[in-house]
Structure 1
Amino acid sequence: MKTTLCILAALALVPTAYAEQKQMEGMSMDHKNMKDMPMEHKADAKTAQATGTVKKINSDKGTVTIAHGPVAELSWPSMTMGFKAESEQLKQLEEGDEVEFEFTSKGMDSTITSITKK
């Protein structure tokens, strides 16, 4: 009896699934043009300032690692982290330099916009 009921219930759902499939016939699954669609960004770039000590410079990757103090604008505690930087900015720095810098932060990417030795 249970088997018969299960089969009848499944057969009752078949027309519904078929009707849904028919509605999709004209829809293309080609999403090549989605890259051109405007996207809202949950996290817009924020600008912040900090002071810190240069720990490592990687000119090949265009990054500098800085142990910085708290960043109030972003509610960040003191930490050591990598920042993207332009080659001209990296050339003026040496490991151990005390610096003041301004940067933009967007998601997991932080990029130095200006940096000066203290």
Structure 2
Amino acid sequence: MNSDRFSLPIPAPDVLSERCPSRDVLRHMTSRWGTLVLIVLCHGTHRFSELKRNIGGVSERMLAQTLQQLEGDGLVLRVAHDVVPPHVEYSLTPLGQGAADRLRELAAWIEDNLPAFLPAQAA
């Protein structure tokens, strides 16, 4: 018996649809902390404390939650080494690298154009 006959069709991804799971990925990637974590991990593997040091203002709780979300989306790889004290490292998956490259471009564009944003923000 062909089980494919009974599987439900997967709808085409549509980030504008409120039911599309792509919205969760978008929300995790483009949250303040998600974007910053991905940008920092562009530069290689980091431990939790290194990430916290590099991302000004993030609390341990928010960083842990963000890393779990990004790991759950397949963007971040968490490797726990079996040593005492515990040693956990975070890096980007190939999927995460693609996302981080695009976010890094956006962040660079924002930084390059910051003088143009300032008058509007002041108004």
- What TM-score results when the alignment is normalised by the length of structure 2? 0.23
**Higher strand fraction: Structure 1 or Structure 2?**
1
In terms of fraction of residues, the more helix-rich structure is: 2
Report which of the two structures shows the higher radius of gyration computed on alpha carbons. 1
TM-score by length of 1: 0.24
